[in-house]
Amino acid sequence: MQEVDILRAVYGVIQERKLNPSDTSYTASLFAKGLDKILKKVGEEATEVVIAGKGGTREELVYEVADLFFHTLVLLGYRDIPPDEVYAELRRRFGISGIEEKNSRPA
């Protein structure tokens, strides 16, 4: 399975949990707790990525980035934004200087 395919597959499961929640689903429990809980998890996972990136092992960093990807996909699912929109934005930026791209954004 290609990398983007796994992200789409995970997003599909997230959407399924959103539409058909169960008491045994962690994802469904996040949706039930609402946006603030989801945002808190994204923040926690981002912090854990920073910590693992600074002093953790390779395996710890991979694990934490996977957690961050997952919780970011939950946030996108909550807002009904498919990952393809993020991929399109990355494609738009590809080949453009990061400084140039940032300077082109509205103030």
The pTM of this model reads 0.87
Residue 4 has pLDDT above 80, yes or no: no
Rounded CA gap, 11 and 9, in Å? 5
Measure the CA–CA gap between 13 and 36, rounded to whole angstroms: 21
At the fourth CATH level, the homologous superfamily of domain 3-103 is MazG-like (1.10.287.1080)
Residue 27 near residue 19 (C-beta atoms within 8 A): no
Whole-number Å distance between alpha carbons of 4 and 69: 12
Domain boundaries, the chain: 3-103
Q: Render pLDDT for 56-98 as a digit per residue (tens, 0 to 9).
A: 999 999 999 999 999 999 999 999 999 999 999 999 999 877 7
- Which tokens go with 5? 């395919």
pLDDT in tens, 12-41: 999 999 999 999 999 999 999 999 999 999
* Residues 32 and 2 sit within 8 Å (Cβ to Cβ): no
